[in-house]
Amino acid sequence: MRIDVLTLFPEMFQAILGSSLIGRARGAGVLEIGLVDFREYSTDRHHVVDDYPFGGGAGMLLKPEPIFAAVDQLRARAADGTDGTRIVLMSPQGRLLSHEVAQELSSSGHLIIVCGHYEGFDERIRTHLATDEISIGDYVLTGGELAAMVLIDAVARFVPGVLGNSDSHRLDSFADGLLEHPQYTRPREFRGIGVPDVLLSGDHAKIAAWRRRQALLRTLRRRPDLLLRASLSDGDRRTVEMLRSADRDEDT
Ligand code: ADE
């Protein structure tokens, strides 16, 4: 997969390029990341990329020309000629990033991510260039770079060969719509705090049942909204009802 990022601050991306799984994936050639400073595409003598909004108002907007020019060049360079490229605008007005959105974007062979700055973009970037607009949460960042890094990390995990064990994202929190069950490693006892006996029992069926119940309980208590969309068996539903009424009894 190839991801090109249009940004006025390419140096910010050094934080993720060489480290951990992203660094390894780049080294192995399964993930290519290109950084483009779109200021270089401004034809103006001072390389201006922003301007005042028509009609007045506070703040500056990113101008369309440098961003369209940078995207045109990246597209022309795309070797395969099939234009499956998705152009993703990072913006707090976008579709909220989720496990499903990250997975969907990972199936495109080429993403071009546009990071905004200042007060926003000229609307024509949104209406005539972007194919997607993504937000990482209901808060406003000073620029799209941190949001783009979050998106790259979340998308990269779905690219075959990025995670060591190709199954691991299927076990993630959210993969089946539930939060993950608690996990423990050695030592068996730490500062007087033990590990649930069932995990030491060696009984795999019992361990699996315990984990499922814990995932249901955790989701019910922390993110009950997720239960409405999760894939649950009839047994899961009975467990949730039992846990729910046990919680209610505790409250009374
Ligand atoms: N740019 C500024 N705030 C943002 C957010 N919440 N998500 C994505 N891009 C942004």
* CATH superfamily membership of 2-156: SPOUT methyltransferase, trefoil knot domain (3.40.1280.10)
pLDDT bracket for residue 150 (50, 70, 90): very high
Percentage of the chain surpassing pLDDT 70?
A: 95
What fold, for 189-251? Trp Operon Repressor; Chain A (1.10.1270)
Distance between alpha carbon 224 and the CA centroid of its chain, in Å? 21
Residue-wise pLDDT tens digits, 166-175: 656 766 777 7
pLDDT of residue 30: 95
Q: Could you count the other beta carbons within 10 Å of the beta carbon of residue 58?
A: 7
Q: Is 147 in the pocket of ligand 1 (CB under 6 A)?
A: yes
Pocket test for ligand 1, best of 90, 119, 125 (most atoms within 8 A of CB): 90
Specify the domain boundaries for CATH 1.10.1270.20 within the chain: 189-251
For residue 144, give the nearest of 124, 125, 172 by alpha carbon: 125
Confidence band for 192, pLDDT divided at 50, 70 and 90: very high
pLDDT at 167 (0 to 100): 56
* H/E segment holding residue 147: helix 145-156
- Residue intervals of the chain classified under CATH 3.40.1280.10 are 2-156
* Phi, psi dihedral angles at 193 (to 5 degrees): -100, 120
Tell me if 140 CB under 6 Å of ligand 1.
Answer: yes
The pLDDT tens digits of the residues spanning 100-139 come to 999 999 999 999 999 998 789 999 999 999 999 999 999 9
Q: Could you tell me the two tokens for 240? A: 């949730």
Average of per-residue pLDDT across 73-91: 83
**pLDDT greater than 90 at residue 250:** no
126 Cα–ligand 1 center, Å: 14
Strands 86-96 and 61-62: unpaired
CA 58 to chain centroid = 31
At residue 80, does pLDDT exceed 70? no
Of all atoms in ligand 1, which is nearest to the CA of residue 91? 9
- Name the helix (H) or strand (E) containing 238: helix 234-251
Catalytic machinery residues = 92, 119, 157, 172
Centroid of ligand 1 to alpha carbon of 146 (angstroms): 8
Dihedral-angle region of residue 94 (phi above 0 means left; psi in -120 to 50 means alpha; beta otherwise)? beta
The residues with which 96 forms a beta bridge, in sequence order, are 135
The finding on whether 135 has its CB within 6 A of some atom of ligand 1 is yes
Angle between helical axes of 20-28 and 145-156 (0-180°, round to 10):
60
Query: Residue 144 Cα, ligand 1 centroid: separation in angstroms?
Result: 5
Instruction: Identify the residue whose C-alpha is closest to ligand 1 atom 7.
Output: 135
**pTM score:** 0.91
144 CB within 6 A, ligand 1: yes
CA of 214 to the centre of ligand 1 (A): 33
Distance CA(7)–CA(145), nearest Å, equals 7
Provide the 3-class DSSP secondary structure of residue 21: helix
- Interval between CA 13 and ligand 1 midpoint (Å): 16
